[in-house]
Structure formats: structure tokens, C-alpha cells
Amino acid sequence: MSEQTFLVLVALADEPRHGYGVVQRVQELSEGRVRLRVGTLYGVLDRLVADGWAEHDREEIHQGRLRRYYRLTGAGSTALADHTRRLAANVDTASKVLRARGQWPQVGELRA
């Protein structure tokens, strides 16, 4: 799963959001690192719906503009949890190797 797809799932896990809202939320969540392009967003959203990980929520007219909301499904939530565990395992693996190279904080080092 790409970082883009992952962050869209996190954004939707928070609460149902419309496309543009997802773009903004992803930017917030990644502290500005990931600026989701609309071309990417709609591709991701379509795939999530096709895979049963997200579904259409309501539609709203907000200040004269249409907002199409999406919400996370149970399967999507489970997939997100699974992937997060996978990422955590990778971080664990990498930090062990990096620690041996002196490129990762030793235990207690941050408190020193």
C-alpha cells in the first residue's frame, strides 16, 4: 500500500470527508510532507470503493459547491490496522539495523 493510499485511509478513519477535505487532511496529517494531487486522489478513492474499503456517504451543497463525502468501511478499518502493524514492524526492523550503524537514537539517549 502506498503512503498516499495509507494517508487517505487515515483521513477517512477520522471521520467522513469529501475529496478536497481529504487532500487538506492528508497535508495536515503528514505535516505538509504529502501534497495529494487531485489526479492521485480520485484514483485512490475509486480503488478504495472498488475494494470495499470505503463507500459513498452523503452529498452536500456547501456555499454553492457540491461536496461528495466518503466514509471508511469495517474492512477498510481492518486493512488500515493491519497495514499500520506492518509499518510498525518495518520501523522496528530498520531501527535495529540503524542503531548498529549509530544512525538511530540509543535507548535513553533522547532523555540525556
Partner DNA sequence: CGCTATATATCGTCTTCTGATATATATGGA
Partner DNA sequence: TCCATATATATCAGAAGACGATATATAGCG
Does 81 interact with its own copies (rule: CB under 8 A)? yes
Does 38 interact with its own copies (rule: CB under 8 A)? no
Q: Which does 5 bind (CB under 5 to 8 A by kind): DNA, its own copies, none?
A: DNA
Q: Which is nearer to its own copies, 38 or 94 (by Cβ)?
A: 94
Strands 54-62 and 65-72: antiparallel
**Total residues contacting DNA (rule CB under 7 A)?**
24
Burial of 106 (0-12, 13-18, 19+ CB in 10 A): exposed
Contact of 16 with 76, CB cutoff 8 Å = no
The C-alpha cell that represents 109 in the structure block: 539517549
Q: Which residues bind DNA (CB under 7 A)?
A: 2, 4-5, 18-21, 24, 36-40, 42-44, 47, 62-68
